Amino acid sequence: MLYFLFSSGATGITLVALILAYVIAICFSMGAHEYAHARTAFAFGDDTAAMQGRMTLNPLAHVSGLGLVSFILFGFGWAKPVPINPGKFRSYRKGATWVALSGVLTNLALAFIFSALTFFVAPLLWGVDNVFCHFLGYLIEYMFLINLVLAVFNLLPVPPLDGFNLLSIWTKYGNKFVNFMSQYGMFFLILFILPIFGGSSILSLFYSHVGTVFLWFWGLFL
């Protein structure tokens, strides 16, 4: 991903603003995702994350240094997992389901909000000859794209993603597909970041096209 930032044509202070906006968007998007897990677990009776200081929107409590670097370099990364104790849920299946869904729904809601800002506000900011305005424009766009990517990516039925957790919750113990993905799911994740499509990865192609539907929706209001 860092390659695409440097190949964007931006130079000097504009390039710095571009990279800074990207890093800030990653931190807050992943932080919001993990906060949602912690807050939902607390609502269903599990205070484990709250006791460890993870029920906060402060991204510093959630960001993994190595995961952040990976996200910057490859467009693929991770945050520190929120500790969950399902044994404390008042209803295991209901609590575990909503905890798994909460991060995805939070990222999806943020993507929807920032897609509107990307469509209506960001072009105005880029039209101003001011680096700070350009930085805000980049930040809005990256908040949209990264939250949308996190929402969809985390629904994949691959461990340790939320989609796999949902599958595990709602299938019988010993399900063959769940067992298979538990053993080999990491290979599927690696496929998403390898440049196997003309120098582009599945994830980078997703970055390029994923926002089209959202922006088309806001275009209906013009």
Catalytic residues: 34
C-alpha distance from residue 90 to each of 2, 43, 99, 170 (Å): 44, 10, 13, 17
Percent helix, strand, coil in the chain, to 5, is: 70, 0, 25
Gyration radius of the chain's alpha carbons:
18
Angle at 31 between CA 30 and CA 34, to 5 degrees: 85
Are 162 and 104 within 8 A, CB to CB? yes
What token pair was written down for 125?
């900011």
Strands (E), the chain: none
Contacts of 119 (CB under 8 A, 6+ apart): 215, 218, 219
Are 69 and 79 within 8 A, CB to CB? no
How many residues comprise the chain?
222
Gap between the Cα atoms of 103 and 115, Å rounded: 18
